[in-house]
Amino acid sequence: MLDIRKLKELVRLMVANDLSEIDLRDSDEQVTLRRQGPHQDPQIVTTPATSSVTPAAPAPAAAAATETDAADQGLLRIESPMVGTFYSAPNPDAEPFVAVGATVGPETNVCVIEAMKIFNEIKAECSGTIEKVLVSNAEAVEFGQALFLVRPA
């Protein structure tokens, strides 16, 4: 269970620094604080901690050409664990971490996401073969946005 004093301090820091979202995770719990506007109180969402790899769901009919289609059923999604900028390689001159057809394991680095000048290596957290890369290099990504589709091994 969360300590209410720590939660109040996070809310105070969030408001003082004009942050729109904070996402904290540990092995037992996940807490997300979100503000819709600068003068609104944060909304608090707590959930049990889960992996950032989730089964791909069929896309709505209006978005059939986006993340998933009928051929993608059974694929796993590697999702962004944060808001930031997606980079497919460790530096501009390097080869991408992974490409379509690459085999990945749970500890395989698949990309880097820059958030507030900090570069975070993102691991696959699943085993299989990369079927689709859903974002472009240097593209802004949202929390929970699908980055890759993986055919499970």
Please write the tens of the pLDDT for every residue from 54-83. Answer: 555 544 443 344 444 545 578 999 999 999
Average per-residue pLDDT for the chain: 77
Residues 64 and 135 occupy one common structural domain: yes
- Total domains, the chain: 2
Distance (Å, whole) CA 31 – CA 106: 24
CATH of residue 133's domain is 2.40.50.100
Domain's final residue, options 48, 68, 83: 48
| pLDDT score of 27 | 66
Tens digits of residue pLDDT in 86-139: 999 998 899 999 999 999 999 999 999 998 888 899 999 999 999 999 999 999
**For position 115, what pLDDT does the model report?**
87
Q: Which domain holds residue 38?
A: 4-48
For residues 60 and 16, membership in a common domain is answered with no
Looking at per-residue confidence, does 126 or 6 come out higher? 126
Residues 70 and 116 in one domain: yes
User: What pLDDT score does 38 carry?
Assistant: 54
- pTM score of the predicted model: 0.56
Instruction: Answer yes or no: do 59 and 118 share one domain.
Output: yes
Residue 77 identity = R
The pLDDT value given to residue 32: 73
Contacts of 18 (CB under 8 A, 6+ apart): 38
